[in-house]
Structure 1
Amino acid sequence: MPLQSLNPLTGKVTKQFDEFTPEQTAEAVRAVAQGYASWKNTDFAHRAECLLSLAEVLKARADEFAAIMAEEMGKPVSFGRAEVLKCAGVCEFYAKNGEAMLTPEPVAGCGQEAYVDFAPMGTVLAVMPWNFPFWQVLRVAAPSLMAGNTVVLKHASNVPQCALAIESAFRESAFPDNVFRTLLIGARQVESVLDADSVIGVSLTGSEGAGSKVAAAAGARLKKCVMELGGSDPFVVLADADIDKAAKVGAMSRCANAGQTCIAAKRFIVADAVYDDFLAALGREMDALKMGDPMDKDTVVGPMSSTGLRAELQRQVERCAAEGGRIVKGGVLPEGEGAFYPLTIIADAPFDAEVCREEFFGPVALVFRAKDEEQAVAMANDTPFGLGGSVWTGDGAHGLELARRIEAGEVVVNGLVRSDPLMPFGGIRRSGFGRELSAFGIREFVNIKSVIRD
């Protein structure tokens, strides 16, 4: 079955690619295993040089890659360019810091000499999503390669051009052949890749369903996995918050990338005293976001990645309204070309409704009222997810105290939840397990080995 690039602005297939046969997949995995045999013995300085070379290629081709994202999954070009530059940044980060993160650590009091070593292990399988088609890949690949591992990529089936563009950047850089390869395969071939002895683990970013299946397959083969899955991030607004700032950041957090972001603000939990003011401010800020052609540099919100995902979002909105939610803004499918979905606000939905416990993967904000701070924290934690969250308050120190009480992989006080190479990134509960980025991320797929001399 071919892998298709379908432009969400026009609904038309622009390109299609033949899926790898099982034999082609196996040959590519074998080639990367052979690449590992030499790559693991390179020193950190050489690996850093390769990463810095890749960063320069990414910078030089940022506009080209942004246009591919716009055509293939609807990301506005200004945001696509920023994504590619962020990828260059993570390459530079690990080139600069990777060696220190993996330097053996001495341990006192155990034999005459003891240390903890961090050694590469083999090939990492990256199973990646379409919503950030460059960033998600590079935040796995950069630390894995700096650690001395090799990488094979199974990208989302709707972004084959992005997948091939990433491989072309590696080929243009100083990296040797066969340390990074793109596999043009569908989900059905993932298990056969995991069957290869050279593949020592899998990092997946995607849906709960995909994560549970791949984690089960990895577990059956006793292979390590890192899972970054869905989220339903709370955005807690206390009575002393700067309402205008909170609404501005909240609108961007909810609507950027057409709302198709795991760490987007999704559940706005607002103190009763400022509820009406915040609701009005959020609507004004959403109205100020330009929606349109993703090739227009001024566009902030493009189409969703497909009409199928848009239809699923509409079903959720209709269920929410049927449960008692009040549609304040949007909520009606537009006519005409493109997978656009209106920026939508739903207020006063029953917090315990089943649909309100789901992830809304599109530009739909659910706004709930909290009688006080204690209830707001309880509501923030009353979710099957646990990826990110934010707290908005005029008292930053108190905000940090509340951040420690919110159960998620990341909590930001008075700011946008985001991923940054300096900090570990990942979730808890149904949002997944394991961490990417920082020293925690680069150590996920290495042999943390105890070495002792008695």
Structure 2
Amino acid sequence: MKKSIKTINPFNNQDIKEYKLHTAQQLSDILECSNTTFYNWRQTSIKERCRLLMNLAQILEDDKRDLAKLITQEMGKPYLESIAEIEKCMTLCDFYATNADDFLADELIETDASESFISYDPLGTILAIMPWNYPFWQVMRFAIPTLTAGNTAILKHAANVSGCAMAIEKLFEKAGFLKGCFTTILASHDAVENLIANDRIKAVTLTGSEKAGQSIAAIAGKHLKKTVLELGGNNACIVLDDADLDKYMDVIVHARMQNAGQSCIAAKRFIVTENIYDDFLKRFKEKVAALKSGDPMDKHTTIGTLARADLGETLKKQIEDSIQLGATVVTGNKLNKAYFEPTILINITKDMPVFKEETFGPVAPIMKVKTSEEAFRMASDTNYGLGTMVFTQSIETAQNYIDTIEDGAYFVNELVKSDARLPFGGTKSSGYGRELSKEGIHEFVNKKTVFINH
């Protein structure tokens, strides 16, 4: 049975560090500590919790270069993107420090009672299972609202970013949060299954694949535990005839290629109307050709490696299977260890893997359609429902299609992105529940009805 985890730099394939998995006894002790801490933490005033958030923001600012370096070493993201990820976590601290008091205040409701209201009470210890692609942001966007609501948290992170996972625990400690408020565990899938079954875990949140979501939801459902699932995405980027390519081409390319395409909300399918198609393809190809690969620690590098070499093999198969069905490679499709060359595919049909499956890497399938109606119809032809982006100068046209898109997000003339001020989540195979904003802090609370007659 596996007893340790080794992290490896995907750029140079060098070992970074080996971590021992927690034993069953250690996991039991962590769970007991987290549960005990909850009863103290829930009594801590919201004002004090918010003060600690501001401490956390300052420490993120002070340590951001070291933390960014750790992200880049463990999963290959360009260093400047890693810096941006840490800075985004700081905005999250600021947002909830400013708004948590309002979000968690009793909501007065007029009824026949002398007094009636909704009280937002924390649930207890929440288990988070998180992915490697945004190793700080994904964790913080769960942890910050969840802890601020008065819960405690246990993190099971992806094995290849174990260093980031341990660093996050230290950040909360350093900021002054009670011991047991936030704890990282290094554990196997079997151990996680046992944790979910434990009465002291009150709910589970997972960001990951559709398959992982189904598995965790089944286990949690068996034990009647609430889940929030943020799963895969197959976001369409619709480009209509009147799109302003001069203004938005950089945004469109960034929507696919940031983080080497390893984002659930990246543009995965480009659906372009025929009158603008040739111009779009020419410009897109030029922008992709200008991306610079190399050492992700180099500030000039704009496209990093994939997080692991095996991810490239999966991507390669999806592309090759699509070529068998008639897709044509315009550029790219070369794999060298963990580096996958940015790839553009055309002659796309809806039965190809690159159209109907989630592709987690720098691959842009571009489909030509005749009309706006066809473009929106194709965009909706997916099992996923995370987000859709539309580029057009006719805001009225974009607004007319809002209710035809079933996704959790609809962005016009902008890439789909998460923002602390807005709820984030999906529909269909992209999961359920919401993170961020007021909705996010309310996911793991007991919305208690209080009815008082004098």
TM-score bracket, normalised by the shorter chain, equals over 0.9
Alignment of 1:90-239 (within 5 A): 90-239=92-241
Q: 1:183-224 deviations in whole A, cap 9, x for unaligned? A: 011222111111222211011000111111111111111000
The answer for the alignment partner of 1:408 in structure 2 is 407
Given that 1:248 and 1:285 are in contact with CA atoms closer than 8 Å, whether structure 2 keeps it comes out as yes
Give 1:183's aligned amino acid.
I
Alignment of 1:440-451 (within 5 A): 440-451=439-450
How far the C-alpha of 1:389 sits from its partner, in A, is 1.2
Give the SS at the match of 1:166. helix
In 1: Cα distance, 2:286 partner to 2:277 partner = 14
Give 2:246's aligned amino acid.
D
In 1: Cα distance, 2:49 partner to 2:21 partner = 31
In 2: Cα distance, 1:151 partner to 1:34 partner = 12
In 1: Cα distance, 2:171 partner to 2:305 partner = 27
Give the SS at the match of 2:183. strand
Given that 2:244 and 2:393 are in contact with CA atoms closer than 8 Å, whether structure 1 keeps it comes out as yes
In 2: Cα distance, 1:96 partner to 1:196 partner = 34
Give the SS at the match of 1:309. helix
Number of aligned residue pairs: give it. Answer: 451
In 1: Cα distance, 2:303 partner to 2:175 partner = 32
How far the C-alpha of 1:354 sits from its partner, in A, is 4.7
Q: 1:429-454 deviations in whole A, cap 9, x for unaligned? A: 00000000000010000000111123
Q: 1:400-437 deviations in whole A, cap 9, x for unaligned? A: 33233222111110012100011000000000000000
The answer for the alignment partner of 2:320 in structure 1 is 318
Given that 1:228 and 1:431 are in contact with CA atoms closer than 8 Å, whether structure 2 keeps it comes out as yes
How far the C-alpha of 1:355 sits from its partner, in A, is 4.9
Alignment of 1:76-91 (within 5 A): 76-91=78-93
Give 1:436's aligned amino acid.
E
In 1: Cα distance, 2:372 partner to 2:122 partner = 47
Say yes or no: does 1:58 pair with 2:60.
yes
Q: Judging changes above 3 Å, is the alpha-carbon distance between structure 1 residues 17 and 272 closer, same or farther for their aligned structure 2 residues? A: same
Identify the range of structure 1 (265-274 vs 398-407) with the bigger mean alpha-carbon deviation.
398-407
Identify the range of structure 1 (383-392 vs 104-113) with the bigger mean alpha-carbon deviation.
104-113
Identify the range of structure 1 (392-401 vs 71-80) with the bigger mean alpha-carbon deviation.
392-401
Q: Which runs of 5+ in 2 are unaligned?
A: none
Give the SS at the match of 2:447. strand
In 2: Cα distance, 1:27 partner to 1:107 partner = 42
The answer for the alignment partner of 1:280 in structure 2 is 282
How far the C-alpha of 1:346 sits from its partner, in A, is 0.6
The answer for the alignment partner of 1:251 in structure 2 is 253
The answer for the alignment partner of 1:369 in structure 2 is 368
Selected match of 1:41 from 43, 57, 65:
43
Q: 1:364-389 deviations in whole A, cap 9, x for unaligned? A: 00111111011111101000001011
The answer for the alignment partner of 1:28 in structure 2 is 30
How far the C-alpha of 1:168 sits from its partner, in A, is 1.1
Identify the range of structure 1 (240-249 vs 438-447) with the bigger mean alpha-carbon deviation.
240-249
Give 1:238's aligned amino acid.
L
Selected match of 2:295 from 293, 296, 300:
293
Identify the range of structure 1 (251-260 vs 195-204) with the bigger mean alpha-carbon deviation.
195-204
The answer for the alignment partner of 1:267 in structure 2 is 269
Q: 1:115-152 deviations in whole A, cap 9, x for unaligned? A: 11100110111100000000000000000011000000
Given that 1:4 and 1:159 are in contact with CA atoms closer than 8 Å, whether structure 2 keeps it comes out as no
CA RMSD of aligned residues (A): 1.1
In 2: Cα distance, 1:416 partner to 1:404 partner = 19
Q: Judging changes above 3 Å, is the alpha-carbon distance between structure 1 residues 110 and 368 closer, same or farther for their aligned structure 2 residues? A: farther
Given that 1:321 and 1:349 are in contact with CA atoms closer than 8 Å, whether structure 2 keeps it comes out as no
How far the C-alpha of 1:295 sits from its partner, in A, is 0.5
Q: Which runs of 5+ in 1 are unaligned?
A: none
Selected match of 1:304 from 306, 309, 317:
306
Give 2:249's aligned amino acid.
A
Q: Judging changes above 3 Å, is the alpha-carbon distance between structure 1 residues 111 and 342 closer, same or farther for their aligned structure 2 residues? A: same
Given that 2:235 and 2:385 are in contact with CA atoms closer than 8 Å, whether structure 1 keeps it comes out as yes
Alignment of 1:338-357 (within 5 A): 338-357=337-356
How far the C-alpha of 1:292 sits from its partner, in A, is 1.5
Q: 1:334-393 deviations in whole A, cap 9, x for unaligned? A: 4xxx51101001111222335521000000001111110111111010000010110110
How far the C-alpha of 1:246 sits from its partner, in A, is 3.7
